Chains A and B, each alone.
Chain A
Amino acid sequence: MTYTEYMSLNAFQRFWYKFTQFIKAIPSNLKNFFCAIGRGIKNFFCGIGRGCKDFVLGFIKGDIITKLSYLIMGLGNITRGQIIKGVAFFAIEVLYILFMVFFGGTYLGLFFKLEAVKDINYFEFMGKQMEQVVVKYYSNQILLYGILAMMVTAAFIAIYIASTKSARKNEEIIKAGKKPMTFMEESKELLDSKFHTTMLSLPVILICVFVLLPLIFMIFMAFTNYSDVNYDSFQWIGLDNFKEIFSASQGGGASMGYTFAKITGWTIIWAIFATFSNYILGMVVALMINKKGIKLKKLWRTLFVMTIAVPQFVTLLVMAQMLSNSSESPLNLIASMFTGEPSSIDVWSKANNAILARITVIVVNIWVGIPYTILMTSGILMNIPEDLYESAKIDGAGPVKSFTKITLPYMLFVTTPYLITTFIGNINNFNVIYLLSEGGPKVSDYKYSAGKTDLLITLLFKLSVNQNKYGLGAAIGILVFIVCATLSLVTFNMTKSAKNEEEFS
């Protein structure tokens, strides 16, 4: 369709055209996305293949010292003048072997069965032969230490390859008649051409221990039947947790599949409403504050921003109290002021009136979220050229029309990344739901005491902290991750900001 054809359409046809274009673009976007993943995997394995080739060729071509340093790390450094580096390599090798022999190896061996190892102690008690079961290795210990051993091994392999490379390089340098770098020279390099190693090593170690390790632990946990019933000894159960999540009802009772489907539906509705209500209303308020001729701008802005500054859990707990079902809560006091008689509106626990609870959480979320949007968008709104509005006014556009035709398109164009992060933040919006309603009102056809306002993230929390179904909770966490990750990767790749990364530099 050419531009003139497009311009001759009316608003509905234009919307329909854009909508169909969007739908049509989805397959190719998805295709590009998966192709990118495929290329990434291909490059990864090609890289490994090249690395192996170098590794083997280096061994074949190298002289005896290089060959030996494939076995004894650091030999090629010590004999060629890099004593400190060589000793460090050798020490790492020794430490790794000690670690595996006395600690990691045991857990790695038990990792594949995962069942706890129990000892039976026999002892005499009042002339009788007694036995006592002592758990030697708990399953969660085996899982955690097993993963730790794997991560240490991976790190060791990386260092090992680096040491063989260094040995080969030293050999070549000697052959060329030069001297290998001294320790001081290499340390200096760490501040310049290898500065990334210095900068990244501390954060990467912290992330490995406090993010990566727990993450892998939880991902593995999704494939076990870990719960409070078998906290000392559990096994691999494959995909059973995921099967339970998607299972239909068995024998009329509440089923996990039904609960999961319903809660997912509500999570999506919540995320859409929470994101866009805040976005649009916040922008309207920001426009109102920034309008020409409105005085006390700073006062208005501070009034709203105050609510961000007060810690969220305080305001939310106060809100929960203010909306409670007691006839003395502010909600009911205000309601009785209007009706003239004592009122007892119960927002949270009426199972047949879940819609009220749902609207309430969205409204409270508007209260929480609008100030953020005001803060975010004020500056950008000021950047919209004033003459656009003026010419629209001359053409007879009212305030609503100029908002939908000028402000909204402009803002959507500039703040797409912000919208995506807010959307994902709302899918994972734990505080608002948990502190306000604790997921209530609870209903009997939801399993695990989930309620009508529960999001996936609060369900995850309830499963793993209150119900102690760790395996199931972890499985839901993985599903939430898959949804969020595909959503943000696909949209981030579609927006230009990811591609033009180097534009400024």
Chain B
Amino acid sequence: MIKSYKLRRGIANALIYIALAVMGLIWIFPLVWLVAHSFRVDPNGGVPAILSTTLFPKVSELGFDNYIGLFRDTMFMKWFSNTLIVATCSCIISTLSVLMVAYSFSRLRFKARKPFINVGMIMGMFPGFMTTIALYYILKMMGLTQTLLGLTLCYSGGAGLGYLVAKGFFDTIPRALDEAATIDGANRNQIFWKIILPMSKPIVVYTVLTSFISPWCDFILVKIIMGTEVEKYTISRGLWMWTDKEYKSNYYRYFLSGSVVVAIPITALFLYMQKYYVEGVTAGGVKG
């Protein structure tokens, strides 16, 4: 009996290993394809065709030309620094507003609290694309179209509406701590900075992470706000432009190498901060 049980468990585990291996292959295949093709160059020095005739490039076709060309001949570095500036600034503004709103809704009691929460929830439900056109006109009114400042404000302006996750987290911090601090003479400002914030590292990291990554991934808002001002593009818009029909034949190789260059820091950041990301999502998203 024991032997057959062991055997059965062994078979079940072997099946699971096979399934995981196959799925892992499928999941990693596009990424491997991306990396492999980013090193694919034309051995004669010309522009390689968009697609290779084999699944993976031949050894004779490998080289670093796409990466060298990316930094030397294109605006990639400019776009990279644009994105870095926008991401950093919007990350600071977004994190501050999210934490401030979440703390007010979680800990402070004032008359307009319930209505504010409901209105905030309802506003968050409108599809984001609806407002892009209007945002363009508003930036135009302020003279901020085709500027990085305008883009930053668009990314971080509505951040306060994403209070739900952080509020869910603050709600779980015991009230007794606040009360104890109040008895010791702290006012609410001090409670926020000295008690709540140090205890909410996961949620702070989560908010910073998500708001830092989102400008690297958005391409629609940039398309509308920046128009044809290629100098001011962020990285995702630039890479997306290279897959357009008129650029594709010449620039697809740079799209591939550029994607790898962007993906490396974000992937590293994400894998490093993964724990906080999970804690953040589960704090607000899951409740019995």
Contact = CB atoms under 8 A, between A and B. Distances in A.
Interface of A: 40, 140, 144-145, 191-193, 195-196, 198-200, 202-204, 206-207, 209-215, 217-218, 221, 285, 288-289, 291, 293-294, 300, 302-315, 317-319, 321-322, 326, 328-330, 333-334, 367, 370-371, 375-376, 378-380, 399, 413-415, 417-418, 421, 424, 428, 430, 457, 460-461, 464-465, 470, 473-474, 477, 480-481, 484-485, 488, 496-497, 501, 504-505
B59 interface: no
B53 interface: yes
A481 B126 contact: yes
A474 B133 CA distance: 10
A464 B159 CA distance: 24
Contact of B259 (A192, A314, A333): A314
Contacts of A207: 120, 123, 157-158, 160-161
B285 A415 contact: yes
A144 B31 contact: no
B129 A477 contact: yes
A215 B130 contact: yes
Given A330-B33, A334-B55, A504-B172, A202 B285 contact: no
Interface stretch (B63-71, B199-207, B273-281): B273-281
A12 to B, nearest CB: 29
Rank and list the top 10 A-B pairs by shortest CB-CB distance, nearest first.
A210-B157, A214-B134, A203-B160, A309-B270, A477-B130, A214-B131, A497-B287, A203-B97, A192-B187, A309-B267
B74 interface: no
B257 to A, nearest CB: 12
A288 B286 contact: no
A485 B118 CA distance: 11
Nearest to A148: B141
Contacts of A484: 125, 127
A428 B127 CA distance: 7
A214 B135 contact: yes
A22 B286 CA distance: 23
A315 B271 contact: no
B189 A211 contact: no
B34 A314 contact: yes
B217 A312 contact: yes
A376 B282 contact: yes
B133 A470 contact: yes
Nearest to A302: B271
Nearest to A465: B224
A304 B269 CA distance: 16
A310 B31 CA distance: 9
Contacts of A291: 13, 16
B47 interface: no
B216 interface: yes
A193 B285 CA distance: 31
Given A196-B104, A204-B160, A465-B224, A288 B259 contact: no
B127 A457 contact: yes
Contacts of A203: 97, 100-101, 159-160
